[in-house]
Amino acid sequence: MLADPLAYPLVLSAVYAGVCVVTQPTLRAQLAFAIFSGLSIFARIQYVIVPVAVLAAELVADRFHVVRAVRRVWLALVLLIVPPALLLATLGSERVFGVYANGAHAVHPVSILHWVGMEAMLLTYSAGWVILPGALAGLAVVLFRPRGRTELAFAVTTLLLAGGLLLEAAQIADTDSQRFQERYLFTLVPLLAVAFCLYVKRGLPGRIPVGLLSAGLLLLAARVPLSGYAAAHNKDDSPTLWAVLRLEGLTSVGNGSLAIALVAAVLSVLGALVAFRKVPAALALGAAILACCAMSAGASAFDARTSLSLRNSLPHDIRWVDHARLGSVDLLSPPGSRKEQSWQQLFWNTSVKRLLLLGSAPIDQFDA
């Protein structure tokens, strides 16, 4: 997760600049969009979907007139296409894409759809649960009845970005990690909050669909507890599941799971009440913010406890191999060894050049 704190503001800046480009494609806006998009991709290659989503929004706003769209955003296209093409031609795909150039890329549609559903469920928790039905309604309204290019650009960009990131997270989970990839989805949380505000601005449309979605979330919270997904390594890329584990540590697995389900049920009912104008929408938004703050506090507490435990069990000098000045070193991985410990030594000690597997499983799915 080292790249995610850097990529998070860059992606949101790229989305904002992209919406500005679709609205009014000034040279300054196109330059800003290209710069933020490029920095986002440099931070994490998965965010290549960001400029794709924005350019698709431009095409939709131009009613699929390709020539018109190209004329409007020509500078952004040049800056986003020419430099990567030159890098690929000069350095090759392996040096540009790194480990992702040689990873396992098999596509299993049924399994990927399963993971898309799981990632979407976790995203719902991460976004505060209550705002999701209204956010989806807001995106639908501004997509089919936009009040200008800005709303249409935001809706198309958000939907395509969400779809692309969910597919990327599902693909990685299916072929490599076998766990939630919540860190891929962080950037969608503030976009869903904006979509919910658009829903409120448009007068809370679609009360029946929003009410049904809220009821569906209520059933989901009752039928699918989060405790089972927080076990073992499933939590590694999910701060939300860190918060679940911290709550279970303070109470118990059963009581913690029950508490989460009850809170989700209350938030589902609140979402339905907002749809039927029984309570103010600000209450739902405030509840979502409170839920996000609680999860953030729980995740931070879990991370702090984990860091303390690691300090007490691992060498105080994390670069102890480099500091021994032994030259090139091989790392031996015997049966039963933990891949996380191998990752740590390889990351911090650059003198470790080779990994020797002595009857142990590979530490990842890449050949690099």
Average pLDDT over residues 70-95: 90
Give me the percent of the chain exceeding a pLDDT of 90.
Answer: 58
Report whether 260 contacts 244 (CB < 8 A): yes
> Is the model's pLDDT at 45 over the cut of 60?
yes
Question: Considering only CA atoms, which of 111, 110, 132 is closest in space to residue 121?
Answer: 132
Question: Considering only CA atoms, which of 52, 89, 206 is closest in space to residue 138?
Answer: 206
pLDDT tens-digit readout, 301-313: 998 988 888 777 7
Least confident of 107-116, 211-220, 222-231, 346-355: 222-231
pLDDT confidence of residue 236: 74
Least confident of 106-115, 213-222, 271-280, 283-292: 106-115
pLDDT tens-digit readout, 85-103: 998 888 877 777 766 666 5
pLDDT tens-digit readout, 193-227: 999 999 999 999 999 999 999 999 999 998 988 87
Q: What is the 3-state secondary structure (H, E, C) of 262-277?
A: HHHHHHHHHHHHHHCC
Question: Residue 176: pLDDT band by 50, 70, 90 thresholds?
Answer: confident
pLDDT confidence of residue 307: 82
Give me the percent of the chain exceeding a pLDDT of 70.
Answer: 95
Residue 167: Cβ-neighbour burial (10 angstroms; 0-12, 13-18, 19+): middle
Question: Residue 355: pLDDT band by 50, 70, 90 thresholds?
Answer: confident
The identity of residue 302, as a single letter, is: F
How does the average pLDDT of the chain come out, rounded? 89
pLDDT confidence of residue 361: 78
Quote the radius of gyration of the chain (alpha carbons, Å).
23
> Is the model's pLDDT at 5 over the cut of 80?
yes
> Is the model's pLDDT at 2 over the cut of 80?
no
Of residues 351 and 309, which shows the higher confidence score? 351
Report whether 292 contacts 211 (CB < 8 A): no
pLDDT confidence of residue 56: 97
- For residues 31 and 42, what is the distance between their CA atoms, to the nearest angstrom? 16
